[in-house]
Every structure is written in C-alpha cells, then in structure tokens.
C-alpha cells in the first residue's frame, strides 16, 4: 500500500508523530485507574502496552486518542495536546477498538467508505477503488457486502483494521487486537500489524495481554500494573527483567494447590 | 435528622440534580446541533431516510387513533348536546378540539412511543458499542449525522402528521354524528358548523404545537441515547426514560403554549 489512499494532507508529517505521555493520572470518581504514567513512543515505532485486565491500558489508549481527558498530566502527539480535538484533526490518528465498533447499520464496504465519503476526499469511483484495494489486502473481498452481524470475530477485527487503514493513519492505536481469537487468527492479526507498520510507517501503539503478539512485533513494551508503569523495555529486556511482578505476568505459574485468587 | 430522612433528602437532592443535569444535557446538545443546521442540504439523504422512518411508519397508527379520537369526541359531546338540542355544535367541538389540542398531542405521544423510543435505542446502542466513539475518532460529529437529520425530519414531518390526524379525526366525528341514532346529524351541517368555528389560525396554532412537541421529542430521544453508558440493561432504561420524559414535557409545554395562544 505504497500509494496514497487519501488526498487530504495532514499538517504533521509521519516522521514527527511521536507520543509523549507525561505524568498522566486518570480517575473515575474515587477510583484511580491510571497513576502517574510517563513514557514516550518514537515516530514509526510499534509500542506495546501490556498489563493484566483492569490495569488501565485501554483507558490510557483512549486518552491518547482524545476520548478521555486525563485527570492530571498531559499527553502530547507531535508536540500537541492530545486532549484538544484540533490535534487529531491536524494528523490522521485512529484506533482499532477492541470490539471493532463497526457501524452495525452498514455493510463492510460502507463501513470502510464512511471516512472518505464523509470528508469528501475522493469521487465515489475512486473511493470504491481504494476500499476494494484495502479489502483485497486483508483478504476480505468476499465479506464486502456482509453486515457486521454476519462476520466472525476474526473477520470483525480485520474489518476494523481495514476501516482504520482506509484513513491512511499516521498514528494507529490497537485495543486488544487479538483478544477472543484463536491462536492462528491471533497470529494472522499480528502479521497484519507488522506488515502495516512496514508499509505505512505509521506510529503504532498496541494494547494487549498477548505475549506472543508483543514479543514478535513490538519495538518496546510498557508493562502496567494496577495503573502504575512498571517497566518500558525491549521484548528481550522485559523477558529478562527479574522483577517478580513482571515475571509473574509473563510466565504465570498455575498452582492448583495454592490458587492465586485465594491470595487476592 | 434520622437515617430515613437523610436517605430521603439524599434521594430528593439526587433526583433534583439529575433533573437539571438532563435539562442541561438537552440544551447543550441543541446548541451543538444548531451549528450544523446550515449543513442540512449536505445531509439530504439522511434527512429523507428519517422522514420516511418517522412519517411512513407512524401514519397508519396516527390514522387509526385520530379516527377513533374524533369518533369518541363526537359520541361523548353528542350524547350531552342531543339532550340540549344542540347537536349541530358537534362540528365546532370536534373541529376545534382536534386541530388545536387532540391531534398535536396525540401525534407527539405517538412520535415519542414509536419513533422516540427507536431513536433512543439506536443511539444508545451506538454509544454503548463504541460506534459514537468511532465517529469522534473519524472527526465526524454525531450531532451532524445522527441528531441534525432527525431534528430536521421531525420539523418537516410533524405538520404533515398533524394535518392527517386532524382531518381523519374530523372524519371520525362526522361518521359518528351521521350514523349514531341519538345524534343523526347531517354531514353538511357538521362541516358547515366545523368551518364556522374552526378558522385558519386554529390550524396554525395546532401546527406550532406539533412542531414544538416533535422537535422536543426527537431532541430528548437523541440526548437520552447519547448519554447512555453501560450495557443492554441501560439501553432499556434509557428508552423508558426517553419516552416518559417526552410525555411529561409534552403535557407541561402544552399547557403553557395553549395559555400563550389563547
């Protein structure tokens, strides 16, 4: 996908798309979900955020895309405040939601064509050409005229990625892209993410608790535990990290005699 | 203050703050949506689709209900007027009641139950399943493509539904007046009396009411859908709240509009 998919030119170039999370805390009422987290994602990098369920990964991802405003701290995308809608209008940023968030009233084709149509990026014939190109790239041609309810879990994920791709994103966020998928489909999605990184050069942030995905495609991994950042390291460094919490997350023992839920 | 009264006070305060929060949310949504009204011609396809959903799906039930409301109105008043020897005034009573009051209120109630509930359910489902977030990420405002077309469609379709309801209600009154044995009013007398007392400004007053009610019902339905959080259970609660709020609003506003018009 080397040629440009959209004619609308963002004001920020791909090589400037870094994400800086600066002492971010997020609270919902009395519940503190993200606690003073800081890290930086470099332009063009695939950055994975790992952590147990409920650790605050998805909330952090949503605040990067501007859907949730941090309670304190700032998130900067290419030097601009991520909480301001104008920041996301000056570049092409998008998110692949965990459940896809496909428009259920539209078929797959219309889901993909929605963004360029709404922003009048191309004539209808060219939009059709672009959408079919992306569908072919993700082997989804046969699903073009199905509605989301007719798709399997893996297909929904691929359609959600395809919809994000039609936007030709500079910053692409994935929320649990391999959750609820069989190992083969999870591997397929991992390969798609890695291929897209090569072809689009988009900065990617992947929230996951899939160790295989993070180890195989991420340049660096951030590990979040109970809202706090525990480590930001390359996959090799993280695997060799002696911290017992890190090791417990990466290589959990299943102890039937002393189950961990009884020690919570 | 004992525990029980403390809890009652908390519930009252909570209820009052929620009431004002609801009003605030509706006003904010209206303000945010009004900005997109000049873009209505670019959303023509969606507006036409909403007109179809609101209008065509509501016409049959509007026709049935308005016919019987007109008929019952004629029956009730005819019974009393026949004893007074003034059955010819049925035309005036049915004519004015239908066009000034019954048709706009009934159409608005039907819109709340038939269309408002569907709109809330659809938008709440879109909100709960992150479709509204997806729109935001794509820089496509929900107010522009989800709310504005529905509000414009309500403004276009309500006068039509109101006229249909009024006319069919009059017909219902006329048929009852003709065929019920204790009334037996000739149709031409019914229509002449109706025309003598029901003038064009009455139709306009009824249409204004219908427009206000229809706009409010759709605004409340959209707002209730877009503020929904949680899951399927909350979608159901939102639908109920949307319909109840709309009906209360219709009755309260009806009093004040009627007072202003008289």
CA A97 vs CA A133, A167, A250: distances in Å:
22, 15, 24
* Count of pairs with CB atoms under 8 A, one residue in A, one in B: 44
Quick check: B134 and A88 CB within 8 A? no
Q: Which candidate, B43, B32, B29, places its Cα nearest to that of B152?
A: B43
Distance CA B183, CA B204 (A): 30
Q: Which candidate, B185, B127, B204, B126, places its Cα nearest to that of A103?
A: B126
* Token output for B85: 């020897």
Q: Chain B contacts of A65, Cβ < 8 Å? A: 137
Same domain, yes or no: A31 and A75: yes
How close, in Å, is residue A103 to chain B by CA atoms? 6
Task: Give yes or no for B31 touching A (CB within 8 A).
Answer: no
Query: B69 φ, ψ to 5°?
Result: -65, -45
Quick check: B138 and A115 CB within 8 A? yes
Residue at A263 is within a domain: no
Report, as ranges of residue numbers, the positions in chain B whose pLDDT lies below 50. none
Predicted local confidence at residue B6, as pLDDT: 67
SS3 A172: strand
Mutate to test the interface with B, among A61, A69, A96, A97 (most CBs of B within 10 A): A97
Helix (H) or strand (E) holding A17: none
Q: Chain B contacts of A97, Cβ < 8 Å? A: 130, 133-134
Same domain, yes or no: A116 and A154: yes
Bridge partners for A37 per DSSP: A24
Quick check: A101 and B136 CB within 8 A? no
Residue at A249 is within a domain: no
Give the residue from A129, A147, A168 where a domain finishes: A168
Same domain, yes or no: A175 and A230: yes
- Closest CB from B131, B139, B145 relative to A101: B131
Angle at the Cα of B52 from the Cα atoms of B46 and B54, rounded to 5 degrees: 100
Residue at A62 is within a domain: yes
Q: Helix, strand, coil proportions of chain B in percent (round to 5)?
A: 90, 0, 10
β-pairing, A19-28 vs A31-41, is antiparallel
Half-sphere exposure of B156 (CA within 13 A, CB side): 18
Structural domain span for residue A223? 17-92+169-243
How close, in Å, is residue B60 to chain A by CA atoms? 25
How close, in Å, is residue A52 to chain B by CA atoms? 22
CA A153 vs CA A103, A180, A186, A189, B131: distances in Å:
15, 7, 11, 12, 17
The number of residues in chain A equals 264
Residue whose pair of structure tokens reads 């609660």 in the numeric block: B237
Predicted local confidence at residue A14, as pLDDT: 67
User: Using an 8 Å Cβ cutoff, are A174 and A157 in contact?
Assistant: no
Distance CA B176, CA B74 (A): 6
Same domain, yes or no: A178 and A76: yes
Q: Chain B contacts of A66, Cβ < 8 Å? A: 136-137
Residue at A205 is within a domain: yes
Same domain, yes or no: A86 and A179: yes
How close, in Å, is residue A118 to chain B by CA atoms? 7
Task: State pLDDT tens for residues B144-156.
Answer: 999 999 999 999 9
How close, in Å, is residue B141 to chain A by CA atoms? 10
Q: Chain B contacts of A115, Cβ < 8 Å? A: 138, 140
Predicted local confidence at residue B232, as pLDDT: 87
Predicted local confidence at residue B1, as pLDDT: 53
Q: Which candidate, B200, B214, B198, B188, places its Cα nearest to that of B98?
A: B198
Task: Give yes or no for B52 touching A (CB within 8 A).
Answer: no
- Closest CB from A95, A103, A118 relative to B137: A95
Same domain, yes or no: A44 and A162: no
Quick check: B140 and A99 CB within 8 A? no
Q: Which candidate, A170, A97, A223, places its Cα nearest to that of B129?
A: A97
Predicted local confidence at residue A1, as pLDDT: 42
Q: Which candidate, B218, B112, B217, B99, places its Cα nearest to that of B165?
A: B99
Number of domains chain A is built from: 2
Half-sphere exposure of A240 (CA within 13 A, CB side): 4
Report, as ranges of residue numbers, the positions in chain A whose pLDDT lies below 70. 1-12, 14-15, 264
Same domain, yes or no: A192 and A152: no
Quick check: A93 and B137 CB within 8 A? yes
User: Using an 8 Å Cβ cutoff, are A196 and A202 in contact?
Assistant: yes
β-pairing, A80-81 vs A72-77, is antiparallel
Q: Which candidate, A246, A252, A189, A186, places its Cα nearest to that of A221?
A: A246
Same domain, yes or no: A136 and A195: no
Q: In what order do the strands lie in the sheet with A171-175?
A: A93-96, A171-175, A203-208, A46-51, A220-225, A228-233
User: Using an 8 Å Cβ cutoff, are B142 and B132 in contact?
Assistant: yes
Task: Give yes or no for B138 touching A (CB within 8 A).
Answer: yes
Residue whose pair of structure tokens reads 């403390």 in the numeric block: B6
Q: Which residue of A has its CA nearest to B129?
A: A101
Task: Give yes or no for A39 touching B (CB within 8 A).
Answer: no
- Closest CB from A89, A97, A104 relative to B139: A89
* CATH code where residue A214 lies: 3.40.50.300
* Token output for B81: 């007027």
- Closest CB from A65, A102, A118 relative to B140: A118
Q: Helix, strand, coil proportions of chain A in percent (round to 5)?
A: 40, 25, 40
Distance CA A177, CA A197 (A): 15
Same domain, yes or no: A175 and A233: yes
Q: Which residue of B has its CA nearest to A94?
A: B137
Same domain, yes or no: A53 and A152: no
Residue at A208 is within a domain: yes
Residue at A206 is within a domain: yes
Helices (H) and strands (E) in chain B, counts: 12, 0
Distance CA B119, CA B121 (A): 5
* Token output for B151: 């509000």
Q: Chain B contacts of A167, Cβ < 8 Å? A: 138
Distance CA B230, CA B209 (A): 35
Residue whose pair of structure tokens reads 């703050």 in the numeric block: B17
Same domain, yes or no: A73 and A179: yes
Residue at A253 is within a domain: no
Task: State pLDDT tens for residues A210-238.
Answer: 888 899 999 999 999 999 999 999 999 99
Residue at A98 is within a domain: no
DSSP for B76-132, please give it.
HHHHHHHHHT-GGGHHHHHHHHIIIIIHHHHHHHHIIIIIIHHHHHHHHHHHHTTHH
Same domain, yes or no: A116 and A150: yes
Task: Give yes or no for A61 touching B (CB within 8 A).
Answer: no
């Amino acid at each position: 996908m080397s040629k440009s998919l959209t004619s609308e030119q963002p004001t920020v170039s791909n090589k400037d798309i870094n994400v800086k999370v600066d002492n971010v805390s997020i609270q919902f009422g009395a519940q503190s979900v993200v606690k003073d987290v800081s890290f930086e994602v470099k332009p063009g990098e695939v950055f994975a955020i790992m952590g147990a369920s409920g650790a605050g990964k998805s909330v952090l991802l949503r605040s990067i895309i501007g859907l949730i405003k941090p309670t304190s701290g700032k998130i900067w995308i290419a030097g601009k405040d991520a909480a301001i809608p104008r920041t996301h209008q000056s570049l092409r940023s998008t998110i692949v939601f965990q459940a896809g968030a496909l428009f259920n009233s539209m078929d797959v084709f219309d889901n993909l064509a929605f963004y360029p149509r709404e922003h009048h990026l191309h004539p209808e014939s060219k939009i059709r050409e672009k959408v079919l190109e992306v569908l072919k790239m993700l082997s989804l041609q046969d699903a073009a005229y199905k509605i989301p309810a007719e798709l399997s879990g893996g297909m929904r994920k691929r359609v959600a990625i395809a919809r994000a791709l039609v936007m030709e994103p500079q910053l692409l966020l994935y929320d649990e892209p391999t959750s609820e998928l069989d190992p083969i489909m999870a591997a397929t999605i991992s390969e798609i993410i890695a291929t897209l990184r090569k072809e689009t050069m988009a900065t990617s942030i992947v929230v996951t608790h899939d160790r295989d995905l993070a180890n195989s495609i991420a340049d660096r991994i951030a590990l979040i535990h109970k809202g706090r950042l525990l480590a930001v390291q390359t996959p090799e460094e993280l695997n060799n990290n002696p911290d017992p919490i890190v090791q417990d997350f990466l290589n959990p023992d299943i102890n039937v005699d002393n189950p961990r839920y009884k020690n919570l | 203050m004992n525990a029980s009264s403390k809890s009652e006070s908390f519930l009252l305060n909570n209820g009052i703050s929620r009431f004002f929060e609801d009003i605030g949310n509706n006003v904010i949504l209206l303000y945010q949506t009004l900005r997109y009204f000049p873009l209505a011609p670019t959303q023509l396809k969606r507006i036409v689709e909403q007109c179809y959903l609101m209008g065509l799906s509501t016409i049959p039930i509007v026709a049935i209900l308005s016919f019987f409301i007109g008929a019952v109105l004629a029956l009730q008043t005819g019974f009393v007027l026949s004893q007074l020897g003034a059955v010819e005034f049925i035309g005036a009573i049915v004519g004015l009641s239908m066009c000034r009051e019954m048709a706009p209120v009934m159409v608005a109630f039907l819109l709340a139950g038939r269309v408002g509930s569907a709109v809330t359910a659809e938008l709440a489902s879109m909100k709960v399943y992150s479709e509204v977030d997806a729109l935001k990420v794509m820089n496509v405002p929900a107010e522009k493509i989800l709310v504005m077309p529905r509000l414009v469609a309500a403004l276009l379709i309500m006068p039509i539904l109101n006229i249909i309801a009024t006319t069919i209600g009059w017909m219902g009154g006329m048929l009852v007046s003709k065929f019920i044995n204790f009334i037996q009013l000739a149709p031409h007398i019914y229509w002449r009396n109706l025309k003598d007392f029901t003038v064009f400004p009455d139709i306009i007053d009824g249409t204004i009411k219908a427009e206000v009610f229809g706009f409010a019902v759709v605004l409340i339905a959209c707002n209730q859908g877009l503020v929904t959080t949680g899951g399927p259970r909350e979608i159901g609660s939102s639908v109920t709240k949307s319909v109840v709020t709309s009906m209360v609003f219709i009755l309260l506003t009806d009093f004040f509009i009627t007072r202003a018009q008289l």
